[in-house]
Structure 1
């Protein structure tokens, strides 16, 4: 899931990679990897915030995501690395930028894992409503750690299968939802809003609610920055932008159709963070099998994604230690299955923090962690854009798109400040950035001395 970042070149720019994958295969991988808990459950927070206008939020997020992907793909095609966007930040602005980017990425994904862990607990409460959330969180955390300790491999090999499970769940909802919408499947239409026909119906919470929903739309596209790095694996690296266009077009179509059905089948006031909005949308219809099958599919895909992310965060910290951007302690591995115990232990602390938070704040924990994770993710996207502005020879149109992407990111982040329910998540993200910033300032003096001594 995560690529190494270092100063070692992964090859020459451009050219052909005979062992690589085709652009359409990369597009499909991107669709499968991007669809996750942030969409299945997190989209409900966006719907609750803004109502039917969530479809506009997702359109804006799709454009912003494409801008980030396109710039990263161009940097990767021009200067292929066995590394990540943190290398490009380092190249553009110096070691402080690479260090900050790496730790921000690590922190973002620790929060993303926590968000997924909490979501899995909420989804499991669908069957066992009286079991406390923290108990489910603890169970899933223990199972995920166990998988890592066993040295399980092959998540990359089963990614296609997991992508099929996730995509099939959405397609199942789209088909059933469409049949309900046109009246082939009968059920209670009480409280069904239908297609909004006025401004107040489309923006029931006003522009403030719409502004606050942007962060959840962007979060649903999270992970695309990692897929951008796979442009290195293309047979023809110049196909990377085309692969991104197809990937995001497919994602936007899937997202927008399914969300449109949700907001026309059920009032946005009925949506809660306790269950998937797709399950809520069909709750009034005689489809007893659907909630259980859909819920199970999300849990299977979500658990696997979370465990793969735990592997990735652990590996990332080892790589950062090798690059000198983390204490050497995290570079050490046990002889048993080459297990990086120190790195894994720090990730486990993050998991346990999520379990404790679920115990103390069961009502709002998913919204808080999801908001904070989404903001940290967007900080990294900002790194990608500003790095591309310096590393690439951009044409005027590329610069316009880059600044538009920056504007979208600022809008999404600032929207969490004006929205009371997500403001706490902003404070959490700000705390992470503050700690990283202080560490960067302290270490920058050490780096200066090292440069002067050489």
Structure 2
């Protein structure tokens, strides 16, 4: 174990439970797969293809590179100085309390809004088997199950996510195997599509269509920040970059292979954001129960990422409360669990379910698109933070700026399509509100009217375990 790792880690639920079992790097890679593969890929890929055409494969590759560049610097910060709260704590260390406050709340609010969308998608998938059950009942069932898994604690959560990860990878491999068998003539599926061979066919909507689809390609990689939060539990934090590289290489390979096969089996023009392209492709196979099996896997995928997000935002909420950036009652522990933080998050989920069911479809889609953009804003801030905390080489600086450029491309691309353009402006509204609150709180902190309950925790921990490679000139600004 590295010299910078802690002897014990606070449980990701935010309680005081001591977690003795550390993760191996391949276990973190497996958890990363569970955190990442979800409705953003199984469902959102259809929308990306609809907007960008077959050339969206380039966007998925670019999104994978951008995701790697973000996790690379996050893993470096983790390996050199493991801190509870990950990117939020590094932002606070680099720029002061205002950065930790805004980063934490932007992440919490965006994930909570996205969860409403995930619950809605899970309910839609379940309607295949329970057509007469109201969607709000199905959403509540999944929400309660997610909260139950969180209540089981760190070990229970990890066991479930490991199983979910294997199921999801097995599902994609199953799809690839079936599609490959069909193309080799072992299975009869009728006529297949010729993959585009000209530039015009490959990019039917031109450069703007490709630019607009980049945002939706990034949705397939959402969840990497949760992997960063879990990275502090590695046996050897120095292996965090290795875990991320392995996970992203696996995901990118199976993403691209499965999308290519899906577009060969079914015309890409039939893909949309309402139905998974993989379910559309599987309907060509005359194999009983295959669509039902894959529908179950879609539910598992969505539920897995929803539970991972729930786990992470409860942890973030407790950490904000511990640092005086959220009401202190959220740190209350009962039955060795942060019951108040879980209760507040459950109430937020209930509101999100109500909004998703009552709001007109387009309006809620705009809000969840905005929430996805807010996640990318946090990714950009991770890259900005790394420039303050890490002694980057010239190549490291080039990678950092390249990552910022790719993320800016995804964000700005949202202005070029009617589905994402309103979400861009709504995301600016959310960020402006949180920014306004940050300015208000910062003024109170400067006036000394609020006491930071643990303002020096991060600085003290970093001083105690000062790692090599962190810039010595960076000092904690937690009291500012």
Q: Specify the TM-score bucket, using the shorter chain as the normaliser.
A: 0.7 to 0.9
* Cα separation, partners in 2 of 1:339 and 1:235, compared to 1, 3 Å: closer
* Cα separation, partners in 2 of 1:180 and 1:299, compared to 1, 3 Å: same
After the TM superposition, which residues 402-421 of structure 1 pair with which residues of structure 2 at under 5 Å, given as runs? Answer: 402-421=400-419
* Cα separation, partners in 2 of 1:180 and 1:70, compared to 1, 3 Å: same
Q: Which residue of 1 aligns with 2:89?
A: 87
- Partner of 1:420: helix, strand, or coil? coil
Q: Which residue of 1 aligns with 2:224?
A: 224
The structure 2 residue matched to 1:353, chosen from 351, 354, 358, is 351
Q: Do structure 1's residue 141 and structure 2's residue 143 form an aligned pair? A: yes
1:314 is displaced (CA, Å) by 2.6
* Cα separation, partners in 2 of 1:265 and 1:424, compared to 1, 3 Å: same
Q: TM-score, structure 2 length as denominator?
A: 0.83
Q: Which residue of 1 aligns with 2:210?
A: 210
* Cα separation, partners in 2 of 1:426 and 1:210, compared to 1, 3 Å: same
Q: TM-score, structure 1 length as denominator?
A: 0.88
- Cα RMSD between the aligned structures? 3.0
The range that moved more, 339-348 or 375-384, is: 339-348
After the TM superposition, which residues 189-338 of structure 1 pair with which residues of structure 2 at under 5 Å, given as runs? Answer: 189=191, 192-333=192-333, 335=334, 337-338=335-336
CA distance in 1, matches of 2:300, 2:33: 17
- Partner of 2:448: helix, strand, or coil? helix
8 A Cα contact 1:16 1:237, kept in partner: no
Q: Which residue of 2 aligns with 1:3?
A: none
- Partner of 1:179: helix, strand, or coil? helix
Cα shift readout 1:144-172 (whole Å, capped 9, x = no counterpart): 45666798971112221111111111111
Q: Which residue of 1 aligns with 2:118?
A: 116
- Partner of 1:193: helix, strand, or coil? coil
Q: Do structure 1's residue 54 and structure 2's residue 52 form an aligned pair? A: no
* Cα separation, partners in 2 of 1:195 and 1:56, compared to 1, 3 Å: same
1:235 is displaced (CA, Å) by 4.1
CA distance in 2, matches of 1:270, 1:290: 20
8 A Cα contact 1:118 1:366, kept in partner: no
8 A Cα contact 1:382 1:406, kept in partner: yes
Number of paired residues?
441
- Partner of 1:68: helix, strand, or coil? helix
The range that moved more, 276-285 or 350-359, is: 350-359
> Which runs of no fewer than 5 residues in structure 2 stay unpaired?
9-19, 452-478
Q: Which residue of 1 aligns with 2:429?
A: 431
8 A Cα contact 2:5 2:232, kept in partner: no
- Partner of 1:43: helix, strand, or coil? helix
8 A Cα contact 2:87 2:228, kept in partner: no
